[in-house]
């Protein structure tokens, strides 16, 4: 039987996005968007997990899955997000 991967849970709050994957959490401050996006997530702020896992890098493949999870959550709420 294949082992299921833990899902990425995304919480969007005013001024921040928080992504939970198992016991790890990554929080990133967001900026106001423009006419094309409601808010902007800066990719350079998504390089490490929050404490107590701050020594763990967020790998490229994992970053891709995080960004997809953020986009999906935004779509559910009728929001547009830009990544810079």
pLDDT for res 1: 44
Average pLDDT over residues 16-41: 92
63 vs 1: CA distance, rounded Å: 27
Output the pLDDT for position 5.
52
* pLDDT cut 90: percent of the chain above it: 79
- How would DSSP label each residue in 23-75? TEEEEEEEEE--SS-SEEE-GGG-SBPPTTSTTSB--HHHHHHHHHHHHHHHH
Position 32 pLDDT exceeds 90:
no
Q: Which pTM value belongs to this model?
A: 0.86
């Amino acid at each position: 039987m294949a082992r299921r991967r833990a899902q990425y849970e995304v919480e969007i709050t005013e001024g921040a996005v928080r992504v939970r994957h198992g016991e790890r959490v990554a929080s990133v401050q967001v900026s106001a968007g423009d006419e094309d996006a409601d808010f902007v997530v800066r990719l350079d702020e998504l390089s490490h997990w929050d404490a107590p896992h701050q020594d763990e890098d967020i790998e490229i493949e994992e970053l891709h899955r995080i960004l997809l999870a953020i986009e999906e959550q935004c779509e559910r709420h009728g929001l547009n997000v830009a990544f810079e």
